[in-house]
Structure 1
């Protein structure tokens, strides 16, 4: 993949059951580290979305009527093929998204697991039977497909965050319109389309439509799209949620986070600093669950900071395609400028720079800040970069108040030798996920995943929660003979 790709079937195309030219033209596929052109993808126009949505609506009826074991078999075979093509997915993830190789390999592995979990959903009980006060009546309550599901996926974990909606939606009998971000349209779009095309998914059931805001807006607003699953920024999520609420359209929103890493006075500081480095610097901090605010008891703050600085200074930042690196590039120049603004403005407001704070191009050094106050950008904003801001507290109650002062509520971590103490604190946190003696970047496909507040609409992905997300309830009553009424 050293020269632009021209021979791939997806080059310059969108996927609508077959590879076709896009009315919206083409966009370059760029290497995150160097800006080099690696190929091009088609850009779906609103007219493309309209045709795809209508085609998907027609194809979904036969797909929903397909026996569950056959739907599951297709998803499992796509999972097998993903494993077989792991090196290809990883290479594209490294070059297109700036991932280090282990992150790309991990993403393939967890996506494979997610697909296996999704396939299993098709064979689970899909309802319940309720008693009736009417003699001779049977009440059935069942889950039925929604119809067409629009999936709008981000660039940071493009394969996994697309497939955690695509796979269960397909397994449960829906058709899917997948709109990957243009910055990850191969890893999170074209390669996914090829998987399902090659395992024989019926045409029209999955359509892959790369594009920008206009493409996403067309997916959200199309009347044939019955549900929208969006992973991305809170600002865009609010707009999507507002429209779907007015349209009475189901929506699942997994949005931003400014996650608290709470270190109590009895914490194992070696373990806590290791968790902090991983949770704060993995994938350059470009993770919604990243440890964004390090809330540390005053009595151990200096020792914690010293251990975290030591770990940060050992990390190598470089082009992951050129050789091993701990951190790769930030996704684009705009994001690099934003991260540096947050760091420099916080320092100007009184924060102390302990490590990092510099960059060469998109390669930002892992950064540790101390003396961070609540009114500084490094505390208040979701950074989405390799920055660990440290804020001190004196009591457990103060730590909880600091953690809950953010509008976000995605993930949190608590470090303490007392499990009982940490559990008491966890129950007070406004957070959809809390990890004790670990870090916030955690995901297991069989466990429901999601946030509170500005981090999401209350929906959950994973395990049995995916059944609730990607189906709707229907009550069917059956009587032995026609009922007789007074008139």
Structure 2
């Protein structure tokens, strides 16, 4: 990413990660420009909220169609700008369209039921109404999907949106949004896109016209946003990091479990908040699982995902590469066994398996946002649960077993927002609530009726007829 200066405004230039080729430029927003965009969104909010829900839904449905018509362009941007492999980019585009379609259905769905008031002679109407302007701050790892996850339901439910993409992905996470929704008929001002770094993000959170902030990103930044939003009495949805546990029980098919574990840890170079970080494996099968996972990891094709059929693409930036390498070196120094991977290869970090990891090691507790799987053995179910819950994070978890009933019995004991039995940790469904607890965020704010709760508020109207009089 490179910032250049033009005669009219500073520009943010997006470049392909591997080649450095320029992909496009967008204007950088000053804090004043962010505040002005928030005012435009606020001015557009009453008319958009008053628009019939069916009309809002039709625009979002049309946007889904237009996005899929531009799927190759969108996929190319995700691959070149963000380092996605082709399969991940294909999934993200289609999942983004699914978010738009689900939001369209949400707009016209039944309102939340609420019982009548308790006073006789007073009619009561209770409804959900838009918040106003929703500020959305999107990360670079799934810019299209994670942006649409907030933008689409917020718009569907009558809010206007102020969107700030990550500086690494201004095209796939911002410009593409604006173009698709504008072509679908979204009125001017209903979606405002601003580009910039932390200063622009802070201006978005602090803008008086922004009623709510939806942030997906690091726990460190999320804490700052949560503190600011709390001081300003704004609603905030935080979806933050994860140190997710992938629990492998002794009855699991080892090849299948390692397949799921490999996908959960190494997809998109492990740069996913839901990635399987800690592989908690029963002691009877831990050696077989470690050997199988390492074999799968070493066989993954590393390379340029735009020009080859690579399964592992580049890490987002050099600073991230060095942080991943330092975390692996620290783990080995603390006693972990490096089974495969572990060293940078140009802009790539190979899939890495660390064995003999214990809770005394930093890698067990600190999120390594890269393709690193840390394996820890356990003796019984109670120890597996204790190890899994030894974390400040609480986003997702998975229990891999051939006995679904046993997995379902363990799932409620795991301290996190989402658990998958017979699967791995990286899963997304726009119809289901999603969110974490602890250092992973402030619980569900996305998916299904959770989106209705997040992006609207209760409004109560009572009518007394005849009008009431009082003693004084």
Whether the TM-score (by the shorter chain) exceeds 0.5 is: yes
Q: Of 342, 354, 372, which aligns to 2:327?
A: 342
CA shift digits 1:352-386 (9 cap, x unpaired): 11111122122111111101121223212111111
Q: Of 436, 449, 461, which aligns to 1:476?
A: 461
1:309 aligns with 2:287: no
Q: Of 396, 415, 420, which aligns to 1:411?
A: 396
1:135 aligns with 2:125: no
Give the C-alpha shift of residue 323 in structure 1.
1.2
1:368-379 alignment runs, 5 A limit: 368-379=353-364
Tell me the residue number matched to 1:286.
271
Q: Of 16, 20, 33, which aligns to 1:35?
A: 20
Is the 8 Å Cα contact of residues 33 and 328 (structure 1) preserved in structure 2?
A: no
Tell me the residue number matched to 2:70.
85
1:318 aligns with 2:303: yes
CA shift digits 1:194-237 (9 cap, x unpaired): 01121221111100111100000000011110000000000000
Tell me the residue number matched to 1:100.
85
Tell me the residue number matched to 2:106.
121
Is the 8 Å Cα contact of residues 29 and 38 (structure 1) preserved in structure 2?
A: yes
1:365 aligns with 2:350: yes
SS, match of residue 182 in structure 1: coil
Q: Indicate how the Cα distance of structure 1 residues 372 and 23 shifts in structure 2: closer, same or farther if over 3 A, else same.
A: farther
Is the 8 Å Cα contact of residues 433 and 444 (structure 2) preserved in structure 1?
A: no
Tell me the residue number matched to 2:48.
63
Tell me the residue number matched to 2:61.
76
Give the C-alpha shift of residue 421 in structure 1.
2.1
Give the C-alpha shift of residue 125 in structure 1.
2.0
Give the C-alpha shift of residue 24 in structure 1.
6.0
Give the C-alpha shift of residue 63 in structure 1.
0.6
Distance 1:459 1:323 in 2: 38
Distance 2:9 2:296 in 1: 46
Q: Of 135, 138, 159, which aligns to 1:153?
A: 138
Q: Indicate how the Cα distance of structure 1 residues 466 and 23 shifts in structure 2: closer, same or farther if over 3 A, else same.
A: farther
Tell me the residue number matched to 1:8.
none
Q: Of 239, 242, 246, which aligns to 2:227?
A: 242
Tell me the residue number matched to 1:184.
169
Distance 1:482 1:387 in 2: 68
Give the C-alpha shift of residue 12 in structure 1.
9.2
SS, match of residue 359 in structure 1: coil
Q: Indicate how the Cα distance of structure 1 residues 53 and 318 shifts in structure 2: closer, same or farther if over 3 A, else same.
A: same
Give the number of aligned pairs.
471
Give the C-alpha shift of residue 328 in structure 1.
0.2
Is the 8 Å Cα contact of residues 259 and 293 (structure 2) preserved in structure 1?
A: yes
Tell me the residue number matched to 2:207.
222
Give the C-alpha shift of residue 129 in structure 1.
5.0
1:331 aligns with 2:313: no
Give the C-alpha shift of residue 481 in structure 1.
1.8
Is the 8 Å Cα contact of residues 31 and 95 (structure 1) preserved in structure 2?
A: yes
1:443 aligns with 2:463: no
SS, match of residue 196 in structure 2: coil
SS, match of residue 425 in structure 2: coil
CA shift digits 1:102-121 (9 cap, x unpaired): 11110011111111000111
Gaps of 5+ in 1: 5-10, 14-20
User: Cα RMSD over matched residues?
Assistant: 1.7
TM-score when normalising by structure 1: 0.94
CA shift digits 1:458-487 (9 cap, x unpaired): 232011111110001111112232013222
Is the 8 Å Cα contact of residues 22 and 43 (structure 1) preserved in structure 2?
A: no
TM-score when normalising by structure 2: 0.97
SS, match of residue 201 in structure 1: coil
Tell me the residue number matched to 2:441.
456
Tell me the residue number matched to 1:356.
341
SS, match of residue 241 in structure 1: helix
Tell me the residue number matched to 2:38.
53
Greater shift, 268-277 or 122-131, is seen at 122-131
SS, match of residue 261 in structure 1: strand
CA shift digits 1:377-404 (9 cap, x unpaired): 3212111111111011111111111111
Distance 1:12 1:476 in 2: 53
Give the C-alpha shift of residue 128 in structure 1.
3.3
Is the 8 Å Cα contact of residues 23 and 45 (structure 1) preserved in structure 2?
A: no
